Amino acid sequence: MSPGQILLKLSFFCLSMVTGLVTYGQDSVLYDVDSILTEEDSILTTQDIYVARAVVIDGDTLWVADLDEVYIFPTKKFKSRRERRRYTRLIYNIKKAYPWAKLAGEKLADVEVHLVSLETEKEQKDYMKLVEKELLKDYKKDLKKLTVTQGRILIKLVDRETGDTSYELVKELRGKISAVLWQALARLFGSNLKSEYDPEGEDRLIEEIVVLIENGQL
């Protein structure tokens, strides 16, 4: 692209910022870009023009743009290589468990919507059994590949995504007796289905990592 073409594009860009879209209170004025192009400007098309959104404040025209949120946390300082490795490993384990927690939240939302449409308790129980059967069929094999540590993190993140502990979800899905048995089994492996997510306390580091993952920063 020649210097002349660059200058011409820059001129139209500045012109579009000033006259392309100016907001006065609730009113917007949008000018037709084609109307300001002449035959001599045939090297340009409407795709070459950026129409900016702007507001006028005290006679000054200011460019308005929407920016994505960026989360900034203090730089991590590690006392040893071992501590750094533990943090790196935590990120790895969260990335393994988090998608399953998101899936749990989405599935639970779908189930709750459908349950509202069922009139009798029997219909609801039959539906819950069907949901359980489908979940085991679709995800049991992959979930069994999670490590014990990843499973513990998943229990925490399920509470984060659904607002219910894993114990409460099992109780709702299979009844109180089954929930008690699964809780006893989880205890044998050092887990607790009743674990609640505490983003401002003991789970602060997990929350920080999850936020970065959600925002595409990690």
**Three-class SS of residue 61?**
strand
Task: Using alpha carbons, list the distances in angstroms from residue 194 to 83, 163, 187, 199.
Answer: 28, 12, 10, 16
**Three-class SS of residue 24?**
strand
pLDDT digits (tens, 9 = 90+) for 134-176: 887 888 888 888 888 898 888 888 888 888 787 777 777 667 6
| Domain regions of the chain by residue span | 3-64, 81-214
pLDDT of 61 reads 85
| CA triple 139-145-151, angle to 5 deg | 90
Alpha-carbon gap, residue 169 to 76, rounded angstroms: 35
- pLDDT-wise least confident of 65-74, 108-117, 203-212: 65-74
DSSP 38: -
Beta-strand ranges (E) seen in the chain are 21-24, 27-30, 53-57, 60-64
**214 φ, ψ (degrees, to nearest 5):** -65, -30
pLDDT digits (tens, 9 = 90+) for 82-126: 999 999 999 999 999 999 989 888 888 888 888 888 888 888 888
User: Which amino acid appears at position 29 of this protein?
Assistant: V
HSE toward the beta carbon, residue 212, CA cutoff 13 A: 14
pLDDT digits (tens, 9 = 90+) for 20-48: 433 333 344 444 445 544 555 555 566 66
| SS3 track for 71-91 | CCCCCCCCCCHHHHHHHHHHH
